[in-house]
Structure 1
Amino acid sequence: MTETSTSAAPKTADDLFRFLDDLQISYSNKTHPPVFTVAESTSLRDEIPGGHTKNLFVKDKKDQYFVLTVEEHATVDLKTVHKVIGASSRVSFGSPERMLEYLGVVPGSVTVFGAINDTGLNVTFVLDEDLMTYDVINGHPLSNDATTSIGREDLLRFLKATGHEPLVLKVTG
């Protein structure tokens, strides 16, 4: 199996916002100093309401890729989550090279909004059921120096508009 790469530059936050505007999806965006971990981002909670996310870019042995989007403090058991998401084997973290190729982001910036860059539909996006209890869900707009807030139903609509059929599954313990 040969993997193909597109030569187009990854879409930016501005491209993402234009796409959301074209879909008539309302969102808000707040810029902040870059954050690389959940711990670093907790200082923003008072300023940005809603469900805050942690995103894991993982793959199975058959090179099926997944982004698992869960509530920031949730725990994902990487030894068993493959049974829930339909992977062919236990999952491991995807490489930074594939992350950039498929999602247009670097480590520390993985986001559900990376679906806009996955034009080859190489990645399955999985949203945790517990996260989907929030009316508003927050994620990085393709870089970790801002947080974009979007309604739960609008997030699903965004993913479908990128050609992805999101899976809403219980992936956390």
Structure 2
Amino acid sequence: MELYHGRPENEDGRLEKEIRVYDLLDELGMDYYRTDHEAADNMEACNEIDAVLGTVICKNLFLCTANKKKFYLLMMPGDKPFKTKLLSKQIPTSRLSFASPEFMKEYLDIEPGSVSIMGLMNDKENHVQLVIDREVLADEHLGCHPCINTSSLKLNTKEVLEKFLPAVHHEALLVDLPWVVDE
């Protein structure tokens, strides 16, 4: 794996939704780095990519309420344990579960294993609420996929909050998830 500054020079064979991510980042004047790799659909695969990017790829979970009326994209540190009841108390909402791949495709235009904050650019009607564990914001950079899990991006956290989110008409709800989870 190599680290590249900006979009790929050759876009042949890349999906349109990936190219749309680069188009938006360039339009917004955001600085970013990219690496291409085999499909990375779990946090273990992302650990190798983290080393190349020089930052950590966030764990991104696509969640919904039991009645499937509210949807959430949760960004949190990859190695932090997750308990739905602890998040539900902070939002506040009814107990959460993982949303189906059908809703992920419909609202974010992404497949399981490719969940990313970049998918919010496809959520034109704001069906999905972004939720970020404050710990993610402590780092200068964050890592994510460009709506496809065969590439990864290193983005400036401040630019994501101040440029990307306003451009895609989403706001982040901040939470503090614990490292130690009592059963």
For normalisation by structure 1, the TM-score amounts to: 0.89
Picking from 82, 91, 103, the partner of 1:76 is 82
Deviations 1:85-136 (A, max 9, x none): 232x000000110000001011111111110110110000111111111100
Match of 2:66 in 1: 61
Match of 1:137 in 2: 142
Q: What is the deviation of 1:73? A: 0.7
Residue ranges of structure 2 left out of the alignment (5+ in a row): 1-14
Picking from 34, 41, 44, the partner of 1:36 is 41
What is the number of equivalent residue pairs in this alignment? 163
Q: Structure 2: how far apart are the matches of 1:150 and 1:134? A: 11
* Counterpart residue type for residue 39 of structure 1: E
> Does the CA-based 8 Å contact 2:114-2:145 persist in structure 1?
yes
Taking only aligned residues, the RMSD between alpha carbons, in angstroms, comes to 1.5
> Does the CA-based 8 Å contact 2:115-2:145 persist in structure 1?
yes
- Are residue 47 (structure 1) and residue 52 (structure 2) matched? yes
* Counterpart residue type for residue 77 of structure 1: K
Identity over aligned pairs, percent: 27
Q: What is the deviation of 1:51? A: 2.8
Q: Structure 2: how far apart are the matches of 1:139 and 1:115? A: 12
Q: What is the deviation of 1:71? A: 1.2
Any idea what SS the aligned residue of 2:51 has?
A: coil
> Does the CA-based 8 Å contact 1:160-1:166 persist in structure 2?
no
- Shift in alpha-carbon separation, 1:172–1:20, aligned structure 2, 3 A: farther
* Counterpart residue type for residue 148 of structure 2: S
Q: What is the deviation of 1:159? A: 1.4
Q: What is the deviation of 1:168? A: 2.3
Any idea what SS the aligned residue of 2:111 has?
A: coil
Q: Structure 2: how far apart are the matches of 1:114 and 1:172? A: 26
Match of 1:27 in 2: 32
Residue ranges of structure 1 left out of the alignment (5+ in a row): 1-9
Q: Structure 2: how far apart are the matches of 1:144 and 1:116? A: 16
> Does the CA-based 8 Å contact 2:33-2:53 persist in structure 1?
no
